[in-house]
Amino acid sequence: MTKHALSTRLWHWVNAAAIIVLFMSGLNISNAHRHLYWGRYGFDPATAWLDVIRFPGWATIPQHYDLAGARDWHILAAWPFAVGLLFIWVAMLVNGHFRRDLTTSPRDWTPGAVLASLRAHSPGTAEGSAGHRYNPVQRILYGMVFGVLLPMMVLTGLSISPGFEPAAPWLVELLGGRQSARSLHFLAAWGIFAFFLIHIVLALADWRLILEMFTGGRREGPAVAPPPPAVEGVPQNG
């Protein structure tokens, strides 16, 4: 049995490309107004809760200030990102990946479980090398990404899109207003960026993880205890 289903692998690489384009074009869009607000309105930098730095051209798409071009790239990548998120959620529910690997229990959130997961995942440990099951920390992180950050990017992105508010004013109100949605969009984007960096570092630490995302890898079954040694004069079961 493969460790990563074909649907997961396809989504992984398409989503990675979409996130890169979305993030870099989003930095270009951020340069147009580098201040974040809470509420429905915001235009005066004096009332901003955060003044964002100006991002250099090499980190943006396009690699020069171009608000219209950046929005075109952003919308282009938003479609595979949003449709792909819907696709992977359906696939995870159908193939059991969500139930098997991502659901958590109250015990997984305890400090002891977190520390044990970090020790087990450290290089050189047998469990960390096998890596055939998600430990509690991985389940929590992936659950937060799939269940909170990625959906938040879609919902807040829609809420700050020009012309969307008349179509679904309830969503904008639920997020606290258009400027609040913009702030949440910014925070979720950087949360995904942080996860992206951690994900890459861990993958580069073990090249087999990258290879498995192409080939699918093999899911290891639970270890089977060896039969007890035979004792003279005692019949064996089976």
Do residues 219 and 2 lie in contact, with contact meaning Cβ atoms separated by under 8 Å? yes
Does some domain include residue 230? Answer: no
Range of the domain at 53: 6-215
Does some domain include residue 130? Answer: yes
Does some domain include residue 232? Answer: no
| pTM recorded for the entire structure | 0.81
Which is more confident, 9 or 55?
Answer: 55
Does some domain include residue 203? Answer: yes
Does some domain include residue 170? Answer: yes
Is residue 51 classed as helix, strand or coil in its secondary structure?
strand
Does some domain include residue 20? Answer: yes
Q: What is the predicted pLDDT for the residue at 221?
A: 55
Does some domain include residue 236? Answer: no
Does some domain include residue 1? Answer: no
Q: Which residue has the tokens 């109250």?
A: 106
Q: CATH number for the domain including 107?
A: 1.20.950.20
Alpha-carbon dihedral sign for residues 209, 11, 155, 74:
positive
Reported as a single tens digit per residue, the pLDDT across 123-168 is 545 444 444 467 888 888 899 999 999 999 999 999 999 888 888 8
How many structural domains compose the chain?
A: 1
Type of residue numbered 140? I
- What average pLDDT score do residues 2-23 get? 90
